[in-house]
Amino acid sequence: MMTQSDLDLKETALKEDLKFYFMNPCEKYRARRQIPWKLALQILKILMVTTQLVFFGLSNQLVVSFKEENTVAFKHLFLKGYSGNDEDDYSCSIYTQQDAYDSIFYVINQYRHLKNISLGTLGYEHEESGLKICKQQYKKGTMLPSNDTLNIDVSIETECILLKPKELTSKKAELKLNSSFFNLEFYRLIQVEISFKLKGIALQTIHARELPDCYAFQNTITFNNRAHSGKIKVYFDSDTDIQECKDWHIFNSVLQKNTQYTLVFDGFVILSCLASLILCTRSIVLAWRLQKRFVNFFLEKYKRRVCFADRLEFLNGWYVLVIISDVMTIIGSILKMEIKAKNLTSYDVCSILLGTSTLFVWVGVIRYLGYFQTYNVLILTMQASLPKVLRFCCCAGMIYLGYTFCGWIVLGPYHEKFEDLNTVAECLFSLVNGDDMFATFAQIQQKSSLVWMFSRLYLYSFISLFIYMILSLFIALITDSYDTIKKYQQSGFPATDLHEFLKDHSNAGYRKDRTSFPFICCCRRQQSDDNLILIN
């Protein structure tokens, strides 16, 4: 059995360790001369990670610009009569049989003379590839609309033909172009799909002192006649793939040196994040050990367990956020170095990792602002209101989903903003925020009086319910939490077992009764310390 003196010594040492754990970096330095390495490292990491992201964003901007400009160039090159603006989700449309033939042969002719007419650094993939034309049509059938008769086999047959670049310049091409394949029976034609692959090199990166990229463009032109409405929609789709240039020689040492400097900087970013990861992991492990000491001592002396909220105080959520950010930054930096060296082309994955990690790094700055009482109000309000807000959003989400499904099925045929579920959800969310209200009311087609009257009832009820009631209640929940936090800052936060244990020996004896407010476990500083509230 442990004597009373040993228990008192153990309690004193535990209190000192607990108070030191909940100090801010400046107080830890004044108490034990412990240099705040994590604080200094986080500040350095913010600067380095943000600089890295800016450089990568500028490089990625060149990639996006090159893709978009080539897509526009392809539409002007291969789509006959393209005006420069897409009509809807398709590029253009045709209305006569002759226009359909002209548009198909126009693509073939432009592909044949690509090297002579294109302004870009484009070329065919290889001589064995070419222009692949496929047509889908119903197997057989007859139609007599004047007699309201229809006899058709809905089985779909697909027929394809391949036109190689060498063949297009020979007499063999004329034989293929005059074959029966191009005799289209429009009453059973479903679609004609033309696909071809081109290669290109982006030289504009050289002006930004970067090595050029090689691109592969998989282009697909679809003449869609599924509706058989007298209008064929022409879709143009271009999938861009960034590839490693197989053999390149650039006679300029500036590009090589710039690449090396960037790789060295990325290496320093990885080292700083690795050091931050080790320090934060170490802090979490030490906090877990300290929590175990506190729980065991509390059970030994007071014969009851520590509440879950007090145990949760030892889990520093900011450290977890920093660890996640460091891991994502390290992986993203490695990918960026491979991209910079032209060994990888995963721009999207790298962008997600670096962008999210930078977001977490800047959010982590709030931890240090929380040492000041004025800024700490925001964090405490978010922490207190989050559970209630999530429960409220679950209930409101059920109503929102109901309106989404109802609007899609009823208004979909009469309003372009209600044509599919995703568009309906986005439209309703815009209405909740007061955006585009008049256009939503005005664009409903008045072909059905019943649907028009229903649309008015639907929109008025949704706007009234969500803006005047649900949104107001949502704001009220946050306001109520803010008022509660302000009241606690003036009159004092509810004391928990951990708070009572950290009181000085000169204070009143330890209160063994359990607090009735276990949901707030913030370690408060003494009045002599400017009423600063610390949170994990």
Question: pLDDT by residue (tens digit) across 353-379?
Answer: 999 999 999 888 877 777 666 677 777
pTM above 0.85, yes or no: no
Percentage of the chain beyond pLDDT 90 is: 22
Compare 328 and 227 and report the one with higher pLDDT: 328
Can you give the pLDDT at residue 522? Answer: 36
| Mean pLDDT across 375-389 | 81
List all residues 6 or more positions away from 255 whose beta carbon is below 8 Å from its beta carbon.
206, 209, 210, 211
- DSSP bridge pairs for 198: 124, 217
| Mean pLDDT across 473-481 | 90
* 500: enclosing H helix or E strand: helix 497-501
| Mean pLDDT across 312-323 | 85
CA atoms of 181 and 421, how far apart (whole Å): 39
CA atoms of 140 and 14, how far apart (whole Å): 88
Banded model confidence at residue 268, pLDDT cuts 50, 70, 90? very high
Q: Burial level of 33, CB count in 10 A (0-12/13-18/19+)?
A: exposed
- R_g over Cα of the chain: 34
CA atoms of 466 and 474, how far apart (whole Å): 10
| Mean pLDDT across 242-259 | 66
Can you give the pLDDT at residue 308? Answer: 78
CA atoms of 69 and 119, how far apart (whole Å): 12
Is residue 336 within 8 Å of 343, Cβ to Cβ?
Answer: no
Is residue 215 within 8 Å of 240, Cβ to Cβ?
Answer: yes
Banded model confidence at residue 509, pLDDT cuts 50, 70, 90? very low
Ramachandran region, residue 293 (left: φ > 0; alpha: ψ -120 to 50; beta: rest): alpha
Residue 235 has pLDDT above 70, yes or no: yes
Is residue 467 within 8 Å of 403, Cβ to Cβ?
Answer: no
CA atoms of 53 and 353, how far apart (whole Å): 10
Is residue 485 within 8 Å of 535, Cβ to Cβ?
Answer: no
Each residue's pLDDT tens digit, 196-226: 998 888 777 776 667 777 888 899 999 999 8
Residue 513 has pLDDT above 60, yes or no: no
Banded model confidence at residue 250, pLDDT cuts 50, 70, 90? low
CA atoms of 208 and 54, how far apart (whole Å): 14
Distance spanning both ends of the chain, measured CA to CA? 35
CA atoms of 273 and 253, how far apart (whole Å): 31
CA atoms of 71 and 217, how far apart (whole Å): 9
CA atoms of 403 and 142, how far apart (whole Å): 44
Q: What is the mean pLDDT of the chain?
A: 81
Is residue 93 within 8 Å of 231, Cβ to Cβ?
Answer: yes
Q: Which two tokens stand for residue 485?
A: 């936090």
Of 375, 317, 330, 394, which is closest to residue 357 (Cα–Cα)?
330
Compare 225 and 147 and report the one with higher pLDDT: 225
Cα dihedral: 89, 91, 97, 101 (round 10):
-140
Residue 492 has pLDDT above 80, yes or no: no
Residue ranges of alpha helices (H) inside 97-180 are 97-112, 114-117, 165-168, 172-177
Can you give the pLDDT at residue 10? Answer: 77
The one-letter amino acid at 10: K
Domain boundaries, the chain: 9-59+256-371, 79-246, 381-492
Each residue's pLDDT tens digit, 422-474: 999 999 999 998 888 888 888 887 777 888 899 899 999 999 999 889 989 99
Q: Are strands 232-243 and 523-524 parallel, antiparallel or unpaired?
A: unpaired
Compare 406 and 348 and report the one with higher pLDDT: 406
Each residue's pLDDT tens digit, 165-202: 877 777 666 777 777 888 888 888 899 999 999 888 87
For 466, list phi and psi in degrees, rounded to 5: -80, -40
- Fold for the domain defined by 381-492: Helix Hairpins (1.10.287)
Residue 515 has pLDDT above 50, yes or no: no
Can you give the pLDDT at residue 353? Answer: 92
Q: Which two tokens stand for residue 60?
A: 């990625």
CB contact burial 413-423 (16+ within 10 A = b; e otherwise): ebbebbeeeeb
Residue 274 has pLDDT above 50, yes or no: yes
Q: Burial level of 252, CB count in 10 A (0-12/13-18/19+)?
A: exposed
Among 323-337, 475-489, 510-524, name the one with the lowest average pLDDT. 510-524
Residue 242 has pLDDT above 50, yes or no: yes
Residue ranges of alpha helices (H) inside 178-316 are 253-302, 308-312
Is residue 121 within 8 Å of 204, Cβ to Cβ?
Answer: no
DSSP string for 218-258: EEEEEEE-TT-SS-EEEEEEEEEEEE--SS-----HHHHHH
